[in-house]
Structure 1
Amino acid sequence: MSAKARMFLKRLFDWCGLKIRRTDNEQFFDFEALLWHRMHRSKPFRFIQIGACDGKRFDPIHDFIKANSSAVEGVVVEPLPDLYAALCRTYAACQGIQPINCAIHNSAATMLLHRVRSSSLGTLPEWAIGISSFDRSHLHRLGVPDSAIEEVPVPCQTLARLIEITGFSSVELLQIDTEGYDAEIILSIDFSSFCPTVIRFEHSRNSQGMPDETYHQVIDHLHAGGYEVIPVESDAIAFQRSILETSSPPGNLRV
């Protein structure tokens, strides 16, 4: 983490009324505390989640969304039919959540998504259900044999089109986990027309995920859009710099 990022993180926590303490994990960051803080600043709390899986497993925002189901509005995007059906069940009681059955792609109307066959899931770790990717080699890098991979054609639309049809042009959070396509989505964003307060995305640089050159392109694009970026294990969290400049800290932050 750069000195500038550490200073930004300290300012953010001081502003929120939180204390930083030493930990053996140098990448420690309380993401949920930030979401609670933004909930205090914006009601309803609006978000877009790309790559929502079933809305439960390996989901960094599920607990927060369920705990605030009456005060959130969100679009949750999942392209695979069976996981989309599970996603709909997860949020069936949440009137403000809109499940969308598609993938986000910058140009294609249909793409092949590579996933682990259901018959092979029992022989692989649980996380194998959530690693579907446009890139077949992404599954290979994670140790999935070619015989365990199947291809599923899925409908696609651009992020801009998703925003247009849902009306979610202003959101507190853009959550992205697309197993290899996160960079392309972020690089497609015109921050003059769509500028989420917080963007969380997966880079997985520690496991041969996003190439360094691409990662730095993404960081440069975010910096140019007015964001600072904090790496957190395999993910990164980008914040609008303006949240420290235009708002006053909340009187009571729930963590």
Structure 2
Amino acid sequence: MILQELTDVWHGRTVANKREEYSASMKYGASAAHLAKKILSRVRNVSEAPRKFFVQIGAGDGWTEWKGPPVGKMITGGDSIHRLVSQGGWEGILVEPNPHVFQRLRWNYRHMNSLIFENIAVAERDGVKDFYICHKNTHLSSFSLEHTQKHDPTGREGFVESVEKIRVRCMSLSTLLQKHNMHTIDLLQIDAEGYDFMILQSLDLFAMKPRAIRYEHKHMTQEEQTACKALLEKNGYRVHPTDFLNTLASLEGMCGISADAPPGGRKTSAHTQEQSHAL
């Protein structure tokens, strides 16, 4: 039962996006869905552990999620991490740099007491940087103005004007994990609008190996996709795209829990914390 629930969560299955899953299987081959299920079977022991830990970078509002063609719209209740956490037994860190979206994120998880919220951006180093948010599409935020604007190729009225530059506090992924004493991750999920590879590069995969990593490859160049795959494979991961947006990587030979990587991500129990800082 747990395995099936995790498999559904991983694919982000809802009634509305069954067609997308079918479309992805046609494009990437039937092996994509089979591979995801096989990977999840390898982490079954992790899923059955009393405490599981995740980090979600680019958490959005924790409730709605963009579903691409053939769905092509925002799906309410479509966020895969929300479904995972709502099933119980998961603790984690949710990172969202857009301050307006961050407020909704906290509200949507208001009844869950095992989460940490960070109103920051994950970057290559600690500091403060320019960041672009779009009021016409609050799920669209990026360090790149060009990346934000290219999501409006038709020139919709008011779209460009709705893009606002703000200053955001930044942490490297390593700093974030050290801050919260996170020494093991069961699931790392990244949706950073083109900066996913940069974030993965900043993680010391020798010292910290998440058991599974899901990242968005859609906004990477072909060179970045190739380099990212090579980086992960070099560090012991199997890497496969699962749909037109995302790639799933899992540690090789994960048949349960390895002796040198005990389950449990934080050295102390996670409690709900509001890590919001004025921008």
User: Same fold per TM (> 0.5)?
Assistant: yes
- Counterpart code for 1:60: S
Look up the match of 1:73.
91
Match of 1:87 among 86, 105, 111: 105
Identical counterparts, % of pairs? 27
8 Å CA contact 2:98, 2:133 repeated in 1: no
Partner of 2:33: 29
Deviations 1:103-160, CA, capped at 9 Å, x for gaps:
101125111211113xxx2xxxxxx221101011112221165323111111101100
Question: Which amino acid in structure 2 is aligned with residue 47 of structure 1?
Answer: F
Q: Is the 8 A contact 2:174 2:204 kept in 1?
A: no
Distance 1:130 1:38, change over 3 A: farther
Structure 2 counterpart of 1:149: 163
The partner residue of 1:210 within 220, 243, 265 is 220
CA positional deviation for 1:40: 3.2
Distance change (3 Å), C-alpha of 1:226 and 1:41: farther
Question: Structure 1 stretch 151-160 or stretch 78-87: which is displaced more?
Answer: 78-87
* Number of aligned residue pairs: 212
**Deviations, residues 62-101 of structure 1 (Å, cap 9, x unaligned):** 1121122xx1110001112121111111222211111111
RMSD: 2.5
User: Matched residue of 1:92: which SS?
Assistant: coil
1:185 aligned residue: 199
Q: Which runs of 5+ in 1 are unaligned?
A: 1-12, 14-22, 122-127, 248-255
String of CA shifts for 1:164-210, please: whole Å, max 9, x gaps: 01111201000000111101001122111110000000011xxxx21
Aligned to 1:225: 235
- For 1:105, give the aligned amino acid: A
* Alignment TM-score, normalising by the size of structure 1: 0.76
Aligned-partner Cα distance in 1 for 2:246–2:145: 21
Partner residue in 2 for 1:51: 58
Decide which of 148, 153, 164 is 1:139's aligned counterpart: 148
Match of 1:64 in 2: 84
Deviations 1:8-47 (A, max 9, x none): xxxxx9xxxxxxxxx6623453768939836534321100
Moved over 6 A (4+): none
Structure 2 length-normalised TM: 0.69
Contact residue 85 and residue 91 of structure 2 kept, 8 A: no
Are 1:172 and 2:183 an aligned pair? no
> Could you say what secondary structure the match of 1:179 adopts?
coil
Q: Tell me, which stretches of 5 or more residues in structure 2 are unaligned?
A: 1-6, 8-21, 66-78, 154-158, 259-279
Conserved? CA contact 1:38–1:45, under 8 Å? no
Partner residue of 1:237 out of 231, 239, 248 = 248
Q: CA deviation at 1:245?
A: 7.9
SS in 1 for 2:229: helix
Distance 1:93 1:132, change over 3 A: same
- 1:155 partner SS: strand
